[in-house]
Amino acid sequence: ALSTIGSTAAFDRAPQSRARGITLDLGFSCLCTELPPHLGPEPGLLQLTLVDCPGHASLIRTIIGGAQIIDLMMLVIDITKGMQTQSAECLVIGQIACQKMVVVLNKIDLLPEGKRQTAIDKMVKKMHKTLENTKFHGCPIVSLAAKPGGPEAPETMTPIGVSELIEVLKSEAYIPTRDPSGSFLMAIDHCFSIKGQGTVMTGTILSGSVNIGDNVEIPALKDGKHI
């Protein structure tokens, strides 16, 4: 609902992923919106890269991999269930890896309309209580329905509250500090094969820079390669 470009998770070829209807790997997409005033006086576009991490507790290693390359965390909570085991685990990881967080209370369309706002207010209060002793105390909390009616609902269904979330993300956005003069460090987030080309690795550069002719080391493989 957020991205303007289809997430790579939508192209997941894993049979298990398609059969179970869940993301087993990191998904990447992006959102382009107006540049907020606090990031620059001139009109322009702000691109937010979205890293979709699996929500299942058994895939915690994949979640940790995604946490290494993000600057702001969106903790998505099913408002009908509240905090679950994997939510708490993601919160712990976020406290280590991130400086900012936005809580998203999803699936508000499943709440009875007459009692919806009362239920939302109750969950917002509960989340603030949960976060009061963490680095994210007082963080923004947004309620929405990204896909009203569920996955099987027609595409004509309009998301609820997504525009409000975008405004919150714009207000929380910041330009992270990178050190181009430091040692080259890239977190690998994808590895796949292309027919006729071989194995391709993609990742996010966390520090330094790299040029053609440089040598790089892949610590996990105890191997080095020439670019």
Q: At what angle do helices 85-97 and 60-67 cross, to 10 degrees?
A: 30
* Residues 41, 9 within the same domain: yes
Contact 77, 102 (CB under 8 A): no
* Residues 161, 141 within the same domain: yes
* Residues 74, 157 within the same domain: yes
* Residues 47, 146 within the same domain: yes
* Residues 218, 132 within the same domain: no
How many independent structural domains does the chain possess?
A: 2
Ranges in the chain, pLDDT < 50: 10-14, 18
* Residues 113, 167 within the same domain: yes
Q: Which of 168, 173, 115 is closest to 142 using CA atoms? A: 168
* Residues 103, 202 within the same domain: no
User: Over the stretch 126-159, which tens digit does the pLDDT of each residue have?
Assistant: 999 999 999 999 999 999 999 898 877 777 788 9
* Residues 154, 200 within the same domain: no
Report d(CA 1, CA 215) in Å as an integer.
41
* Residues 13, 100 within the same domain: yes
